Structure 1
Amino acid sequence: MNPTTNALRTGLRRGVIELRATFTNGQDLWTYFFPTVVLLVAVFWMRGSTVPGTDFSLGARTLPSALGMGLLFGGLLGLANQLVIDREDGTLLRAKAIPDGMLGYLVGKIVLVSAVALIGVVLQLTPGLFFLDGLRLGDPGAWLTLAWVVPLGLVATLPLGAVIGSLVENPRNMGLVVMPIFGLIALSGIFYPINGLPGWLQGVAQVFPLYWLGLGMRSALLPGDLAAVELGGSWRHLETVGVLGAWALLGLVLAPVVLRRMARRESGSRVAARRERAMQRVG
C-alpha cells in the first residue's frame, strides 16, 4: 500500500476514535455544551427584539451568525489548541518518529475538529428551531447554501488553526489569540448589524473570515428580504466565496511550511523542558 494512502487511512481511523473518545470525556462535553446553552439562552432573550428597520426577530437573526462564529472557533481555535497541547505532552514528537506519522496525525485532528464543529452547528441550530421563527430550513436553497458555506468556512479556518498552533508553544498563550477574535466578534455583525459602525471599522471586519462566515450562514437560514439590512443590501455570495477562498489559499500555502518547521524543531529535550514548565505551573 502507498505510504501516503496508509497515513490517510490511519489518520481517518484516529480521528474517528478520538471523536468517539471525546464524547465520553466530561470536560470535553462541558466545553461543547456550555457555550451552546449560553448561546441559546442569549438568543431566547433576544427573540422579542427586532432587527432595525424590520419586524424580524433579532434572536433569529443572531443564531445563524453565531453558527458561523462557531465554525471559526471550532476550525481555527480547535485545531490550534489541539496542536499546542499535543506538542507539550509529546504526542507530536511520537507522531514525527513514525513514517508519515505527521500526515496521519494531522488528518486525524482535522477529522476530529471538523466533526466537532459540525456537531456544534447541529446542537445549536436544532433547539433554536423550537422557539425562533423565520429560519428557512424547509427551503432546499438553504441546504444548498449550507453545503458550500460550511465546507469553505472550515477550509478557510483549519489551515490558519494549524499555523497558529505551530507558532504558539505555551497553552497559556492561547489567550493572546482569543482576545483579538473577541474584538472581531464585536465588529463582524454576529450579534447586531454593523451598518451603524464607521466605514473604516466595517472595512476592517470585512478583511477577516468571521464576518463572511456569519453572512454566509445568514444567507442560508434567513429570508431573502433580510439581505436589505446587510452591507450592500445583498448576501454577496461571490464576495463571500472570494474572501473565504483567499483565506483558505493563504492558510494552505502557509500551513505546510510552518508545520514542517515546527516538526523539525521538535525534540525530546524541548518536550522535557515544556513538561518541566508545566509542572512548575501546577506546583
Structure 2
Amino acid sequence: MNPKPYALRVGFLRGGIELRQTFTNLQDLWSHVFTPVVMLVVLAFMRDSTVPGTDFSMGVMALPSILGMFVAFGMVTAANSLLIEREDGTLLRAKAVPDGMLGYLVGKLVTVSGMTLVSLLAFLLPALFLVDGVAVGDLGTWLEFTAVFVFGLLAVLPIGAVIGSLFSNPRNMGFVMLPVMGLIGISGIFYPITQLPMFLQWIAQVFPIYWLGLGMRAALLPDAMATVEIGESWRHLETVGVLGVWIAAGLVVAPVVLRRMARRESGSAVQARKEKAIQRVA
C-alpha cells in the first residue's frame, strides 16, 4: 500500500471526526457562536450609519468585510490548535507513524476549514436580515464568494502553521492576537481604508486580511460601492495576485518550518512541557 494516499485518506477522515466532535463539546460550540454574535451586535450598531461622503450604509460595507475577517481568523485557529496538540503529545504520536505528519496536516486543514465555514455562516445568515443591499441572489456572487473563501484559507492557514511552529506555549497566543487585531483595525474591515493615513494603507495591503475583505466586498456588494475603495475599483487581479503570493510563500515556507519543528519533538520534550504546565497550575 502506498503510504501517501493512505495518509491523505486518513487525514480527511481525521478532520471530519474532529469537526463532528466540535459540535458535541460545549466549549467548542461556544467558540463557534460567540464571535458571530459579537459581530452581529457590531453590525446592528453600524447599519444606520453611512460611509463618509456617500449615502452607502456602513453596515452593508462591513458585512462582507467581516466575512473576510472570519477567514483570516483561520490562521489563529490553526496556530492555536497546533500549539495545544504539540504540548499534549498529539503531534509526537502523528510523527511516529509513516507519513503521519502529512495525515495530521490534512486533517487539521479539514478541521479548521470546517470550523471557519461554520462560524462564517453563523454570522452571514442572520446578518442578511439585519442589512439590505447585499447581492446574494446571483450564482456568480456565490462562485466568487467561494473562490475568495478557498483562496483566503490557502493563504492564511500556512501562516497559522508557521506561527504554531515558532511558539511552544499556547499561552503565548496573546503575542499573536495583538498584531492580528491591529491589522484588522487598519484593513478596512469596519471603516473604509481610504479614510486612513497613506502609510497605514500601504501596511494593510501587504497582508492578506485587507485583500480578503476586499474580495468579499467585490463578491457581495454592488459595483457602485467600489467608489470608496482604493482606485475606486475592486481590483480583482491584485486580489488574486497578492493572495497567490501568500499561498506560494506559505506552501514553500510552512513545510520546511513544520519539518524542523517535528524533528525537535521527542517524548522528553513533551514531558518537560507537561511538567512546566503542571507547575504553572500549582
Do the structures match in fold with TM over 0.5?
A: yes
Counterpart residue number, 1:195 = 194
Partner Cα distance (1:143, 1:52) in 2: 29
Partner Cα distance (1:7, 1:150) in 2: 25
Counterpart residue number, 1:280 = 279
Partner Cα distance (1:194, 1:40) in 2: 21
2:194 match: secondary structure? coil
Map residues 132-281 of structure 1 onto 2, 5 A cutoff: 132-281=131-280
Counterpart residue number, 1:110 = 109
Displacement after TM superposition at 1:195 (Å)? 1.1
CA RMSD in angstroms comes to: 0.9
Maintained 8 Å contact 2:16/2:110? yes
Partner Cα distance (1:2, 1:247) in 2: 31
Partner Cα distance (1:139, 1:11) in 2: 34
Maintained 8 Å contact 2:36/2:120? no
Partner Cα distance (2:239, 2:206) in 1: 11
Q: Deviations over 1:63-119 (max 9, x none)?
A: 110110110102x11111111000000000011111111111111110000011111
Partner Cα distance (2:174, 2:146) in 1: 32
1:248 match: secondary structure? helix
Displacement after TM superposition at 1:42 (Å)? 0.7
Partner Cα distance (2:144, 2:245) in 1: 19
Is 2:21 the counterpart of 1:21?
yes
* One-letter amino acid matched to 1:276: E
Show structure 2 runs of 5+ residues with no match.
none
1:195 match: secondary structure? helix
1:98 match: secondary structure? coil
Is 2:8 the counterpart of 1:8?
yes
Partner Cα distance (1:139, 1:281) in 2: 54
Displacement after TM superposition at 1:140 (Å)? 2.3
Displacement after TM superposition at 1:144 (Å)? 2.2
* One-letter amino acid matched to 2:66: A
Counterpart residue number, 2:58 = 58
| TM-score normalised by length of structure 2 | 0.98
Partner Cα distance (1:92, 1:276) in 2: 17
* One-letter amino acid matched to 1:25: N
Partner Cα distance (1:225, 1:279) in 2: 57
> What number of residue pairs does the alignment pair up?
282
Counterpart residue number, 1:99 = 98
* One-letter amino acid matched to 1:70: F
